[in-house]
Structure 1
Amino acid sequence: MLFFSVMRVLHTADFHAGRSLRGFDRTPEVHDALTEIAGLARTERADVVLVSGDLFDTANPSADAEAAVFDFFLRLRDQGIPGVVIAGNHDSAARLASVTGLLGWVGVQVVAQPTANPADMIRTVETRGGERLVVGALPYLSERRLVKAADLLGGDTGAWRQKYREGMGFFLRRLGEGFTGGSVNMLMCHATMDGAVPSGSERTMQFDLTNSYTLSGLQLPPGAQYVALGHVHKPQQVSDAPPAYYPGSVIQLDFGEAGEKKQVNLVEVEAGRPARVHALPLASGRELRTLRVDLENVESRLAALSDFGGLLKVVVRAPAGTALPGLKDRVLKLAPTTLAVELDAAQEDLATPDLKREGLSLIDLYERYHQEKRGELPDDLRAAFREADELARTEESA
């Protein structure tokens, strides 16, 4: 009779190193969280760490963002813990592919881009205890490119979504065919599952759940003992058979995630047996909070938060037409960690945003957004946005 020891797999995702919130760099907090996760990998005796995409917040991350992520992998190397990583939609697949060889030297296997041969996306890890983990690793696959490849231009939205599912289903089935008996078999994927509940922080274009491209739990390969998902920032389970989980982002990335408890997942599993999943809470990252307050109570409410060490967004309710000179300075004097001071949306005549957007171009909308959130749009950023918009239009018409 064969006896298999229990494998311990730590699952995390959505670091978003390099994230800036209202001009405030969150990278030091992400670094702290990754240091905490590396510590958990040691104390929880993890055999392998899985990272399901979005290591970085942008395709061209800062040096500090790269240092935070690579320091995490070096810490795992120092503990002899291997890792498997896939690229997310925020990552530059080409950039990750360029360091695949280097990361391999520290025990991290990277799958940056989907390939025509799904067998190239199977990764095998031999643990220190002698067990074998087989991971079907599917990095983020652009919905637009996948649908476009199917030559469905002119089709209705429902047909596009269905074609996306069919294309992703091809990869998922082929990855499932790579699972082997006597091994622990897992799937990694950076995508949106049916029924996933967003935090409110993910980009609107990606998480309009009435229009987004999603996968069904029925498409997941039944041989997967655990499905390690990334893309949605709210920790949750989205499928029972096979068990599929989003561990969520590692810190509260913006005010849409305020109040969320962050975590990583520890998966205990043996070959051929059901996985047991444990949430491990994270303590790193500053707490985010939105304070809604009437104008006459601004000082008293903020004074009551004098001991709050997190980051604030203050929304002030005031009668229509009220002049509020110096309001931001008043708030910052009492709460220096306030990142945004806003008027109640109803008082800004934003109750009918569609009417205000009618007839505006994409660059006009972006300029308005930048003006409201960060101030005047710089000329170089305006030019870069126009270039990107023109490139997108060219791709769509190709």
Structure 2
Amino acid sequence: MKKMFMIKTPSNIYIWWNIGSSIMMMMTIQILTGIMLSMNYMNKNNPFNSSMNLYLNMNYGWMMRLMHSNMTSIMFIAMFVHMTRGLMYKSFFMMKMWMSGMMMLLLMMMESFVGYSLVWNQMSYWAMMVITNFVSAIPIMGNKMIKIIWGNFNIDIILINRFLSIHFLIPMIILLMSMIHLMILHKSKSNNPMGLMNKTDMIKLNPIFIIKDMIMVMIIMMMLVNINLVNPFVFSNSDSFIMMNYFKTPSHIEPEWYFMFFYSILRSINNKLSGLMMLIMSIISFMIIPKMNMNKFQSFNPLYKTMMLMMITSIILMSILSTKPVEYPFKEINIIMILTFFSLIPMMKLMNKMSNKLI
């Protein structure tokens, strides 16, 4: 433990390098609040009434529930910022660390979707219906697999029980992955804004960077308390307060904001299997970015940073467009943004080949 706090770290890293430790702290708070909520969550008859009961009857249940739901959104903001910093400053050259981080992000998305489903409101039910139905797109075995997943001929309490079990198991895997992520980081050391590894300009992690991490955690906690007390449902959809209804589909099915990018890809393609394949390709695209950027000179590359900004802009625009109706001009603009996103990956490879010849 002493060696972990005395590890040598580049002296010129700043606030963007403090996000990782804040995510770890938020994950710990999520697990603690989740355990407290699970003690009063009953899913036998009506999970929606049980989730409302947490607000109304459990002592400080409203605080626990709001902290658990809003912390998820703040944690995803922190993870996306952490990932953006890795893309902009090319931290992904530490391939093992990048892949472990991507696995943690995918597990977090799975965990948040499963947790969102447990509320059993109108939007979560239809989101479950849409997502689980993508299994039926698998040739030959799809229809049989979806009945095995549901445990019935429709989504009901059986699937909620399964999701509750998964919701407890995934955090254990995430904690294991985070420990692996941390071990890889301490072995390979952090990069820095300059993109150059200068072994002479290194200082101990403790106390300077530990204090900076603590300050960052305090700022995030203050933000969370402010959101919970001033505008607690800023990240929530209005349909989240309506109990699930088998016979009434929402006019516009809209997932949580951190799924918007993937949702925009899925709904832009009419064929279910093609949409699923494009979704998988978008995930693979992030994983292969390190292989597309193996240039000789790693820092001060304005062309690369411009392309990264274009990619981030296209992701944000796709997320915004997923909240709009599937009609002109939103559908056409969304398709253009999707094509831009996927075309930037091979363009990076070409750009790196050109820069390697010039240097």
What is the TM-score of this pair, normalised by structure 2? Answer: 0.25
Whichever structure has more strand as a proportion of its residues is: 1
- Using CA pairs below 8 Å that are at least 6 residues apart, which structure has the higher relative contact order? 2
Greater fraction helix: 2
